[in-house]
A and B are shown apart, each in its own frame.
Chain A
């Protein structure tokens, strides 16, 4: 996600963990689109390659399978044709369709709190500041 998807503390002006809005699936899709670390590593790639696959400099959030399962969600491999490099590792977090909007918001908030910044490997504020600075230099 790009740094503008992260809220800031409006007093300290520090970036905070991603908005829960980033963890809600599109209603017309089968689940929340992600890339699996094991799938990336099997083709010699990592979170940095996911960050580069987007439209601009981005930070990458990481979640563990156990966090998804604890929220009643599942994850299924879903290789995609694009982008060509990281697409074999694409997967979908499913299990949202039976949820009400309220349940979906609660689960998305839980995932947002559990997510760690895996690229750049730092806390959210430092990572987002670094990525923003890179984008401004580009």
Chain B
């Protein structure tokens, strides 16, 4: 087999674990969109006293890496507390599958982001969230770190694609060390917008190519 996937990933793809829905879920989240060709939905059942994840199921619209990372995430968090689950990183999920090709790392990020959104959803429903804090530049940078450089399989901040981030009066400008006609320019720009658009005090996002 010369496909760019490991054995474990293909096993999860062929026979995903915990696929489906939980009808009376305590929390639920969907991340991604048909525009990106990647969607993951996670359903959680959480023990109210111990905050342990009793059950988790996923649905996926996406490629093999998308299905496999969602599947492996469900294995990783079942039985864990929500705090333990929050600590799981996209790197951990990818490693668990025996690695992912660099261009597919964003799938692992999507699975982990969906998990965190589902947990946030649980915390909101159960009054575990404190007041909303105003967004800082560092928080924006943290979010942008969820966008992958598809060549390197690492995030765009670490790999130097992000030149600067300016945040003033609800308007974010992200400057990228990238040519506008770079093969990944459109994709990276869309992903940045997707990461930032849900932050409550961000009203406008502008991605600029400086090269």
Bound pair: A and B?
no
